[in-house]
Structure 1
Amino acid sequence: MGRARPSMQELIQGRRNAGFVGRRRELDAFRDNFGLPPEDERHRFVFHVHGHAGVGKTWLMRRLEQTSRQEYGALTARVDETASSVPEAMASISEQFARQGRELSAFDRRLATYRQRRHEAESAPAEGERQGPSTGSMAAARAGLAGLGMVPGVGALAGAVDPVPLAEGTDRLRAALGSRFRDHKDVQLVLDPVETLTPLLVRELSEAAAAVPWL
């Protein structure tokens, strides 16, 4: 009985694999590392892929990720410069895990709340009369500008910035959020999302690590 003809997908994948040349040593070293327990001093926790543009770094990274998933059951995620902020980088990790069947439910719920509250805060009209900044906001603004003044190339610009509008903006933001959101946790979430979201992400990453062979 003759062999079934390979599918188009199999043909394309075979040609891609055949084109993966000159990286066998790196791929073998990566595979060998999975055979070493983390307690072994030879085990590596970081692989540094570097080189000039166009030498195949991205292709190698994708191949290493594919090897991790298909051969060793690893849960993987990649984050690059397309993530415009720390919360969006966290969101990217969660989305990639979900596509692999591991949802970070608590983190996702809080992230959705953050995005909703941020949208509400950004779309809220300004209200109330303009007042002078608080002492605390003025001190924070001046301290921030003083720090910028020590950065080479920025000192002259920082010295020309009036700290009063910065402090007033901080006060208006706090007041607007405080009047719009009853829950203080929502105010803190909008003001500092990283502080709120990080513990949730770390906790669920720890739970995921306990449920899969490799993370």
Structure 2
Amino acid sequence: MKDKHERIPVVEVGAPPGLSRRRFLAAGSMVALGVGALSATGLEASAREALAREFTLLGAEAGNTLLVLARDIFPHDHIEDRYYRQALAPLEAQAADDAELRQLLAEGTAALDELAGARFQRPYAAIERESDRLVLLYQIEHGAFFQRLKGHLVTGFYDNKEVWPLFGYEGSSWEQGGYLNRGFNDIDWLEQDA
């Protein structure tokens, strides 16, 4: 086993003629920006559409609306869509046996898309700006559809143990003796004087 302080030799590769290090780095950063923009738009949208197709009962269009709506109700930019889909899955499963709930979800997503179409000439999930979507949510926030979805998501999303580490929550501690001996003084986030 190697000593942990032993240096690994670095192999240097020459740059192609006419390409300085500065130009190479500039070109690389432009490629990274392009890939970042692509992933933020095209790849994110295609991933959301793939998740939306998993809504077998309600359909992909309603599923896409529900995913975007869930993100708008509980916005966390660093959380992937799949966690929102996991939170919505039990609601769809419940709707399979509950005709009233199925109708509420179908009519609610259709009405939201209709509001979006009247104001922005596109379905709710296709509206790019969150602030524009929120204008529509303020119009429906007291209705049964919005309240049912919000009520379900508050537990369906935040009770998901896979999401907890993404928020820095370590989970319940009482089973392990409480927080007094398990992180009560964890203040690694606070700068300390040396």
Larger radius of gyration: 1
TM-score strictly above 0.5: no
TM-score, normalised relative to structure 1? 0.26
Please give the TM-score of this superposition, normalised by the length of structure 2.
0.27
